[in-house]
Amino acid sequence: MAAPGTGESYFVSSFTVSVRKDKFKVVAAVHEIGPDILVAVWGGNRPHIGAIGMAQPRQSLRDEEQRAATSSVFTLLGHKEDLVVKPLSEEITRRFGRNSVVVAGIHWDNLTEDEIRTASRLCEKLTKKIIESLAGR
Protein backbone atom coordinates (compact mmCIF):
# COMPACT_ATOMS: atom_id res chain seq x y z
CA MET A 1 0.00 0.00 0.00
CA ALA A 2 1.36 3.46 -0.85
CA ALA A 3 1.46 6.28 1.68
CA PRO A 4 -0.84 9.00 0.30
CA GLY A 5 1.03 11.50 -1.85
CA THR A 6 4.46 9.95 -1.31
CA GLY A 7 4.68 6.89 -3.49
CA GLU A 8 6.29 5.15 -0.50
CA SER A 9 4.84 1.86 0.63
CA TYR A 10 3.90 1.02 4.17
CA PHE A 11 2.70 -2.06 5.96
CA VAL A 12 -0.76 -2.43 7.50
CA SER A 13 -1.76 -5.64 9.26
CA SER A 14 -4.28 -6.58 11.95
CA PHE A 15 -5.08 -9.49 14.22
CA THR A 16 -7.25 -10.20 17.24
CA VAL A 17 -6.42 -12.12 20.41
CA SER A 18 -8.52 -12.92 23.46
CA VAL A 19 -8.29 -14.58 26.84
CA ARG A 20 -11.08 -16.06 28.93
CA LYS A 21 -11.63 -17.44 32.41
CA ASP A 22 -15.04 -18.34 33.77
CA LYS A 23 -17.39 -15.41 33.02
CA PHE A 24 -14.51 -13.09 32.08
CA LYS A 25 -13.29 -12.44 28.55
CA VAL A 26 -10.89 -9.72 27.40
CA VAL A 27 -10.23 -9.05 23.71
CA ALA A 28 -7.56 -7.05 21.88
CA ALA A 29 -7.50 -5.91 18.28
CA VAL A 30 -3.90 -5.22 17.26
CA HIS A 31 -3.10 -3.09 14.23
CA GLU A 32 0.39 -2.69 12.82
CA ILE A 33 0.25 0.60 10.96
CA GLY A 34 3.55 1.17 9.22
CA PRO A 35 6.18 1.24 11.96
CA ASP A 36 3.61 1.85 14.72
CA ILE A 37 1.29 -0.41 16.71
CA LEU A 38 -2.27 0.43 17.78
CA VAL A 39 -4.09 -1.83 20.25
CA ALA A 40 -7.74 -1.64 21.34
CA VAL A 41 -8.62 -3.69 24.45
CA TRP A 42 -12.17 -4.31 25.65
CA GLY A 43 -14.17 -6.66 27.78
CA GLY A 44 -17.00 -7.03 30.21
CA ASN A 45 -20.62 -6.12 30.01
CA ARG A 46 -19.95 -2.47 29.11
CA PRO A 47 -16.92 -2.07 26.83
CA HIS A 48 -15.91 1.57 26.41
CA ILE A 49 -12.87 3.85 26.25
CA GLY A 50 -11.45 4.43 29.73
CA ALA A 51 -7.77 5.17 29.15
CA ILE A 52 -5.22 5.71 26.42
CA GLY A 53 -1.52 4.96 26.78
CA MET A 54 1.21 5.73 24.32
CA ALA A 55 4.87 4.86 24.38
CA GLN A 56 7.94 5.57 22.31
CA PRO A 57 11.31 3.84 22.40
CA ARG A 58 14.37 5.35 24.04
CA GLN A 59 17.72 4.19 25.30
CA SER A 60 17.68 2.79 28.82
CA LEU A 61 18.99 5.16 31.46
CA ARG A 62 20.52 2.24 33.39
CA ASP A 63 22.11 0.35 30.50
CA GLU A 64 22.95 2.00 27.17
CA GLU A 65 22.75 -1.39 25.48
CA GLN A 66 19.10 -1.83 26.45
CA ARG A 67 15.98 -0.32 24.96
CA ALA A 68 13.36 1.24 27.23
CA ALA A 69 10.14 3.17 26.70
CA THR A 70 8.82 6.57 27.64
CA SER A 71 5.06 6.64 28.07
CA SER A 72 2.15 8.98 28.63
CA VAL A 73 -1.32 8.02 29.80
CA PHE A 74 -4.66 9.78 29.67
CA THR A 75 -7.33 8.28 31.93
CA LEU A 76 -10.93 9.38 31.86
CA LEU A 77 -12.39 10.40 35.20
CA GLY A 78 -13.34 7.41 37.35
CA HIS A 79 -11.62 4.81 35.19
CA LYS A 80 -8.85 2.36 36.09
CA GLU A 81 -7.71 1.20 32.64
CA ASP A 82 -4.44 3.09 33.06
CA LEU A 83 -3.36 -0.08 34.89
CA VAL A 84 -3.75 -1.88 31.54
CA VAL A 85 -2.64 0.65 28.93
CA LYS A 86 0.60 1.83 30.54
CA PRO A 87 2.32 -1.55 31.00
CA LEU A 88 1.02 -2.88 27.68
CA SER A 89 2.19 0.12 25.63
CA GLU A 90 5.56 0.14 27.41
CA GLU A 91 6.11 -3.60 26.91
CA ILE A 92 5.26 -3.45 23.20
CA THR A 93 7.61 -0.50 22.69
CA ARG A 94 10.41 -1.94 24.81
CA ARG A 95 10.27 -5.32 23.05
CA PHE A 96 9.88 -4.15 19.47
CA GLY A 97 11.30 -0.61 19.39
CA ARG A 98 8.10 0.75 17.87
CA ASN A 99 5.77 3.56 18.89
CA SER A 100 2.58 2.17 20.40
CA VAL A 101 -0.85 3.42 21.38
CA VAL A 102 -3.14 1.32 23.56
CA VAL A 103 -6.77 2.21 24.28
CA ALA A 104 -8.78 0.17 26.78
CA GLY A 105 -12.24 -0.01 28.26
CA ILE A 106 -13.13 -2.99 30.43
CA HIS A 107 -16.08 -3.15 32.82
CA TRP A 108 -18.00 -5.74 34.78
CA ASP A 109 -20.62 -4.75 37.34
CA ASN A 110 -20.20 -5.41 41.07
CA LEU A 111 -16.92 -7.36 41.10
CA THR A 112 -15.55 -8.87 44.29
CA GLU A 113 -11.87 -8.40 45.20
CA ASP A 114 -11.15 -11.94 43.94
CA GLU A 115 -12.87 -11.19 40.64
CA ILE A 116 -10.85 -7.98 40.26
CA ARG A 117 -7.67 -10.03 40.69
CA THR A 118 -8.93 -12.53 38.10
CA ALA A 119 -9.63 -9.74 35.61
CA SER A 120 -6.21 -8.23 36.28
CA ARG A 121 -4.48 -11.57 35.68
CA LEU A 122 -6.42 -11.95 32.44
CA CYS A 123 -5.06 -8.60 31.25
CA GLU A 124 -1.53 -9.79 32.07
CA LYS A 125 -2.15 -12.97 30.05
CA LEU A 126 -3.53 -10.87 27.21
CA THR A 127 -0.35 -8.78 27.22
CA LYS A 128 1.77 -11.93 26.91
CA LYS A 129 -0.42 -13.22 24.10
CA ILE A 130 -0.12 -9.94 22.20
CA ILE A 131 3.67 -9.91 22.60
CA GLU A 132 3.95 -13.54 21.46
CA SER A 133 1.75 -12.86 18.43
CA LEU A 134 3.74 -9.77 17.42
CA ALA A 135 7.03 -11.65 17.86
CA GLY A 136 5.81 -14.40 15.56
CA ARG A 137 4.93 -12.05 12.70
* 94-129: pLDDT as tens digits: 999 999 999 999 999 999 999 989 999 999 999 999
Instruction: List the domain boundaries for the chain.
Output: 15-108
Each residue's pLDDT tens digit, 6-64: 566 678 899 999 999 998 999 999 999 999 999 999 999 999 999 999 999 998 888 88
Q: 44 exposed, middle or buried (CB, 10 Å; 0-12, 13-18, 19+)?
A: middle
Architecture of the domain whose range is 15-108: 2-Layer Sandwich (3.30)
Asked whether the beta carbons of 107 and 48 are under 8 A apart, the reply is: yes
Q: Is the pTM of this model over 0.85?
A: yes
Residue-level pLDDT at 70: 93
Q: Is the pLDDT of residue 3 over 80?
A: no
Residue-level pLDDT at 63: 84
Distance CA 100, CA 54 (A): 5
Q: Which helix (H) or strand (E) holds 133?
A: helix 113-135
